[in-house]
Amino acid sequence: MIQARKTRSLVLGVGNLDRQDDGAAYHVIQALRRHLRQPLLEPDQTGLEELGGRVDSVFLAQLAPELLDVAMNYDRLVFVDAHVQPDWEDLHCAPVEPEERLSTLTHHLTPGLFMALLQVLYGCTPEALLVSLRGHQFDFGRDLSAATARLIEPALDEIVRRVTS
């Protein structure tokens, strides 16, 4: 009997843990790890050293081209970050499509550009989702604002629904 290959998911949290709500993804990653009964990350850990599961999660300061080698091994990517977009809902969830135009004049790698590079360089297009929490405070500190902290559980629920289906 042939067994179907299990879908593998990588949840990529991006942000600055030391700038309050910009570190919201770290708190989402920790909540996901608790839910999956995986070891929590120390503040100086990324999670890249623990890959290989059906659902893996990492927290990084920013997306980098070096992560393409990791991402190509997954069927589903979930990008998690904080946002301040006035026209987005507090918990913004949307599919990520490869960006049409590649820019060489930026140090900022968006999820769309990341997906475009993955497609062009490796010929793979995993399913991708953005889960972005509205940020309110970005001063130095590790505490989330109350409004952003309230979005952690709904973000977790959305991610768990996607990665366990």
- Nearest alpha-carbon partner for 59 in 108, 10, 94, 20: 10
Alpha helices in 16-143 (DSSP H): 24-35, 68-71, 111-122
Hey, which bits of 1-137 come out as E strands? 9-14, 55-60, 76-83, 91-95, 127-134
Q: What is the CA radius of gyration of the chain?
A: 15
pLDDT in tens, 141-153: 999 999 999 999 9
Structural domains present in the chain: 9-163 (3.40.50.1450)
pLDDT in tens, 156-165: 999 999 998 7
User: pTM of the full predicted structure?
Assistant: 0.92
Q: What is the pLDDT of residue 161?
A: 94
Helix (H, G, I), strand (E, B), or coil: what is residue 79? Answer: strand
pLDDT in tens, 65-119: 899 999 999 999 999 999 999 999 999 999 999 987 655 555 578 999 999 999 9
**What's the chain's average pLDDT?**
91
Proportion of the chain above pLDDT 90, given as a percent: 83
